[in-house]
């Protein structure tokens, strides 16, 4: 059985002045689980970097990110309900 190479890139641009975060994902035929695992890995790495840069606790940064993701999911549900 031939092993296929997977390619997943996640680009994160942070614009502090505009208070914006832009995320772009480039992936070649990943499975949902591969994409999910890579996204979680990226979030974990980003949380560590943010914690180091801001002298915050890494767990607090992860909780803040989780809260933002949860809020984004709630916004999507609100739009679907209307």
pLDDT score recorded for residue 81: 60
- The angle formed by the CA atoms of residues 80, 77 and 63, to the nearest 5 degrees, is 160
Q: What is the pLDDT of residue 49?
A: 87
Res 61: pLDDT: 87
| pLDDT 10s digits, 42-51 | 888 888 888 8
pLDDT at 22 exceeding the cut of 80: no
Q: How far apart are the first and last CA of the chain?
A: 49
Is the pLDDT assigned to residue 14 strictly greater than 80? no
**CA 80 – CA 82 distance, rounded (Å):** 6
């Amino acid at each position: 059985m031939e092993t296929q190479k997977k390619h997943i890139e996640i680009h994160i641009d942070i614009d502090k002045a505009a208070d914006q975060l832009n995320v772009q994902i480039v992936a070649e035929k990943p499975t949902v689980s591969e994409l999910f695992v890579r996204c979680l890995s990226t979030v974990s790495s980003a949380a560590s970097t943010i914690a180091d840069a801001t002298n915050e606790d890494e767990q607090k940064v992860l909780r803040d990110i989780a809260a933002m993701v949860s809020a984004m999911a709630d916004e999507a549900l609100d739009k679907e309900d209307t």
